[in-house]
Chains A and B, each alone.
Chain A
Amino acid sequence: MSYGAMLAIATLAGGALALRAAKKERLDIGLMYVVLAVTVLGAFVGGYLLYIVVEWLRTGDLMQGVLTFGRVLLGSMVGGFLAFYWIAGRFGMPRARMMDFAVPAIAAAHAIGRVGCFLGGCCFGSESHLPWAVTATDPLAPASYPSIPRHPTALYEALAVLAIASLSGLLTRKKKYDGERFALYAMMYAVARFSLEFLRGDTIRGLAFNVVSTSQLVALALFALALYLHRQSLQPHPPRRVG
């Protein structure tokens, strides 16, 4: 119940922040609702589809994934981004500028969602005996198998994304191009996610090439893509020829 409540609060908070920023930017609020709804829809569909694929590969049973209605965060991020890019382009809205002012909304939703993960006992850390290590005892929590003190990695990530959102805002007070804040946020999040993966304890998520986790691989790809877009956007563009 707590996970579901935090998910609903995360969506509400993220949506409210995005709408407030859109009002400041004098964008069409009706169309903003449409963009938000389609983005959330894309996130759910993307996360669910990737979950089905992952569960199918892991268990060999397609119905296991179809009927348990889980989600994979990375699938949600990709699905949500693709849906946003499509719908915003469809209505002729300024996508790059929207990505910039959506950063606080994305960070808030992400952080609250991770608190939900912590309360639900998923996305848990490896064993730890630090003073702030947490032991899950609820039999419904995956983190309680076994019930040992663990890094609260979900909370680490929640704090990290809030800090990254603040830092990206400070660094782009005088931004050089639309989308710069989002690109910096993506790069810093990729670094944070790659690092936090070393503290994760849910090894069932699998390894890529037996070296890095699949999430670390995706984080590397995200960093490379964001860096490439950042450098490309900083390049001076030749003036358009008229006539």
Chain B
Amino acid sequence: MRAMGLASLFTAIGAFLLMIGGALLAIVPILGVTMSWSAPLVALVAVVLGGIAMSRAKRDGEPAGVAVAGLTLGIVVFLLGLLLAVTCGLCGALVSNAYLNGDLDRSRNGRNGMHMRVSLPDGGMMEIDPFAAPPSPAQPPPPSGTPVDPSAAPEPTPEAPPSAAPPPAMPPPPLGAAGEAAGS
């Protein structure tokens, strides 16, 4: 069972490296988000291996130190990885989304900018340039993006909060990237 304990430990270390890699490479399309979200899943595998090793070591009267180490590291990496995945992974998801939609828009419309389709909470989609510079404070905030499908109804215009500063360059995340989506 020492072998399984070692496997748990090395898997946890691998999950840790995935977590760090995902955080550092968050701005790289596809790769960053995949690494971010793989880290907690790989950490869970480490916990499974560590748990089995611990159980069998206890049953056979063998030391379980390595298994406990792998298990503990797996749990820590899982929790940290989950936290980073929802933040850095979210950034990575936005970049990946913009990357994919930007390519499509460039080929379709011949524009140089990258555009991102964003779901609005009450229906409809909007196309926003995530890298557009925010308007200067002297100017009123522009309408939030361009409706993709004008025939979709109803499509409420997002209202700027009363005390809002000029809107940030980054658009609101797609529905579900920050939490739950339809059916939740």
Residues in A neighbouring B120, C-beta threshold 8 A = 145, 204
Report how far A102 CA is from B117 CA in the complex, Å: 41
Interface residues of A in 12-61 (CB under 8 A from B): 12, 28-34, 36-38, 40-41, 44, 50-51, 54-55, 58-59, 61
Determine if A144 is an interface residue (Cβ-Cβ < 8 Å).
yes
Q: Is the CB of B82 within 8 A of A71?
A: no
Known: A1-B87, A67-B33. A34 touches B55 (CB 8 A): yes
User: Number of A interface residues, CB 8 Å?
Assistant: 65
Q: Which of A111-166 contact B (CB under 8 A)?
A: 116-117, 120-124, 137, 139-147
Check A11–B79 contact: CB distance below 8 A: yes
Residue A96, interface by CB 8 Å: no
Q: When A and B form their complex, what is the total count of cross-chain residue pairs whose Cβ atoms lie within 8 Å?
A: 199
- Classify the secondary structure of A's interface with B: helix
Please report the C-alpha to C-alpha distance between residue A231 and residue B49 in the assembled complex, in whole angstroms. Answer: 39
Any B CB within 8 A of the CB of A73: yes
Whether, in the assembled complex, B161 has its beta carbon less than 8 Å from a beta carbon of chain A, the answer is yes
Known: A37-B48, A69-B33, A139-B172. A117 touches B180 (CB 8 A): yes
What would 10 more interface pairs be, CB under 8 Å, given A8-B82, A59-B119, A215-B184? A4-B84, A4-B85, A31-B52, A33-B71, A37-B44, A61-B117, A69-B89, A69-B90, A143-B121, A145-B120
- Interface residues of B, Cβ cutoff 8 Å to A: 30, 33, 37, 40-41, 44-45, 47-48, 50-58, 67, 71, 74, 78-80, 82-87, 89-90, 93, 96-97, 100, 117, 119-123, 125, 156, 158-164, 167-168, 170, 172-184
